[in-house]
């Protein structure tokens, strides 16, 4: 695939594995690189409410043929990134949509590349979801797995059942380290973007320090992986220090 193509990034996977959290972290990162982005949210719109003043966020009803909204953006020259939070589970319907609308062949015609980004937990359902997606999209898309350490650190099911296949198709693995529940809830209570929370004095300073390194470690995991940099449409040379991001 050509590296100068724009990127459509779909976060996929089970409910409550961290899709919204990853999207919020990526919005901050894309903003730090000056990317022009648009976000579509199928799940609970309240999860991204803190970012409504930062980027354009539109609701999307995947099950009412609302997905043409996404395709209408392919000709918008000012956009660099389209982020789509796909519904939790429902992998059969997602794959059906991809096939029926000829999505995988349509995107390259408009010079867009597709990346599926899936946070995974300890559950086997995550692996079955990923495997089905790979079987439908094969080499027409790029793939990133986010190992969410909130749920596990070993990911034995992933290693045993699909890691070899995932690596053979060029999939990238990144990590989201665990953040204590109290710290995470403190972030969410502010109703602010993550990049502002590290300076929010309403949050205990210790919480802010842990949050700072939680975000930093996630970004480092991306920038230490050349495939992840490419699949997310980022530029390593445009990388700022963490303090420059937030």
pLDDT digits (tens, 9 = 90+) for 152-199: 899 999 999 999 999 999 999 999 999 999 999 999 999 999 999 989
Position 3 scores a pLDDT of 52
- Range from 67-81, 108-122, 139-153, 223-237 carrying the lowest mean pLDDT: 67-81
Tens of pLDDT, residue by residue over 54-64, are 999 998 877 67
Burial class (CB in 10 A: 0-12, 13-18, 19+), 72: exposed
Mean pLDDT (the chain, rounded): 89
Strand order, beta sheet including 6-11: 56-59, 37-41, 81-85, 6-11, 112-120, 142-148, 172-176
Backbone angles phi, psi at 159, to 5 degrees: -60, -40
Domains of the chain in sequence order: 6-179+218-238 (3.40.50.300)
C-beta of residue 190 within 8 angstroms of C-beta of residue 204: no
Query: Angle formed by the axes of helices 91-100 and 124-137, to 10°?
Result: 10
């Amino acid at each position: 695939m050509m590296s100068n193509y724009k990127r459509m990034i779909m976060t996929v996977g089970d409910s409550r594995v961290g899709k919204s959290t990853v999207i919020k972290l990526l919005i901050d990162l894309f903003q730090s690189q000056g990317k022009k982005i648009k976000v579509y949210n199928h799940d609970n719109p309240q999860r991204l409410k803190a970012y409504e003043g930062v980027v354009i966020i539109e609701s999307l009803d995947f099950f009412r043929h609302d997905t043409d909204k996404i395709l209408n953006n392919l000709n918008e020259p000012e956009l660099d990134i389209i982020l789509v939070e796909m519904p939790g589970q429902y992998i059969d319907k997602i794959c059906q949509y991809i096939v029926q609308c000829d999505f995988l062949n349509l995107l390259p015609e408009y010079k867009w590349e597709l990346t599926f980004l899936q946070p995974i937990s300890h559950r086997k359902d995550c692996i079955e979801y990923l495997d089905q997606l790979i079987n439908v999209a094969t080499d027409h898309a790029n793939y990133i797995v986010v190992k969410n350490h909130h749920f596990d650190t070993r990911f034995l099911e992933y290693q045993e059942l699909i890691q070899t296949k995932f690596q053979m198709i060029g999939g990238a693995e990144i990590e989201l380290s665990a953040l204590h529940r109290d710290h995470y809830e403190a972030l969410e209570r502010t109703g602010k973007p993550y990049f502002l929370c590290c300076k929010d004095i309403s949050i205990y300073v210790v919480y802010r320090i842990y949050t700072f390194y939680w975000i930093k470690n996630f970004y480092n995991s991306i920038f230490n992986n050349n495939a992840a940099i490419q699949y997310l449409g980022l530029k390593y040379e445009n990388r700022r220090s963490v303090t420059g991001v937030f």
